[in-house]
């Protein structure tokens, strides 16, 4: 069964944290799909992965472009990637319909009220269906 982790950020924006999490996961050789809320957020995450830490670039592709099946990090906002990834990082306000394809889901909750409210609804969704939930409070964004 998919394990769900909620990361409650101190920061109002998730980009720096997502970059660090992707770096951590790819160092372990894990494949990651970052599910953004929309195309604008896809672009922001794409840019952050290029610029957040210039000394440690994180190879990635945007879903729907000429993505390489060997790339460990894919970013998208509509459909999931065709190839299997172990980790789903969800930045969208709703639970992606395809979340159960992944071994783990990282639900990222920035410190703004609307995102916290959406995060509570997602937490309740998973809890009501019996998923194992982990919560990490006050994570540096």
SS (H, E, C) 88-136: EEECCCCCCCCHHHCCEEEEEECCCHHHHHHHHHHHHHHHHCCCCEEEE
* Cα 1 to Cα 70: distance, rounded to the nearest angstrom: 25
Classify each residue of 35-49 as buried b or exposed e, where b means 16 or more C-beta atoms within 10 Å of its C-beta: bbeeeebbebbbebb
pLDDT digits (tens, 9 = 90+) for 38-94: 999 999 999 999 887 767 778 899 998 866 667 899 999 988 888 888 999 999 999
* Cα 141 to Cα 3: distance, rounded to the nearest angstrom: 22
Confidence at residue 58, expressed as pLDDT on a 0 to 100 scale: 86
Domain regions of the chain by residue span = 3-139
* Cα 90 to Cα 105: distance, rounded to the nearest angstrom: 7
What's the average model confidence in pLDDT over 14-19? 94
Specify the CATH number of the domain 3-139. Answer: 3.40.50.10110
- Assign residue 49 a region (left: φ > 0; alpha: ψ between -120 and 50; beta: otherwise): alpha
Task: Report pTM.
Answer: 0.94
- Closest to 116 measured CA to CA, from 141, 139, 93: 93
Cβ(136)–Cβ(119) under 8 Å? no
- Closest to 31 measured CA to CA, from 56, 68, 65: 68
- Closest to 120 measured CA to CA, from 107, 103, 131: 107
Say whether pLDDT at 7 is over 90: yes
Q: How confident is the model at residue 133 (pLDDT cuts 50, 70, 90)?
A: very high
- Closest to 74 measured CA to CA, from 36, 118, 100: 36
pLDDT digits (tens, 9 = 90+) for 103-121: 999 999 999 999 999 999 9
Confidence at residue 82, expressed as pLDDT on a 0 to 100 scale: 84
């Amino acid at each position: 069964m998919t394990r769900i982790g909620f990361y409650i950020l101190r920061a109002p924006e998730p980009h720096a944290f997502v970059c660090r999490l992707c770096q951590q996961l790819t160092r372990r050789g894990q494949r990651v799909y970052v599910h953004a809320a929309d195309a604008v957020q896809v672009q922001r995450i794409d840019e952050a992965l290029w610029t957040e830490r210039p000394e440690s670039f994180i190879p990635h592709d945007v879903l729907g472009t000429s993505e390489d099946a060997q790339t460990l990090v894919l970013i998208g906002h509509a459909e999931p990637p065709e190839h299997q990834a172990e980790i789903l990082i969800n930045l969208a306000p709703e639970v992606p319909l395809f979340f159960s394809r992944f071994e783990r889901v990282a639900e990222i909750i920035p410190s703004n009220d609307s995102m916290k409210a959406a995060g509570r609804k997602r937490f309740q969704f998973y809890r009501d269906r019996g998923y194992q939930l982990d919560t990490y409070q006050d994570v540096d964004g």
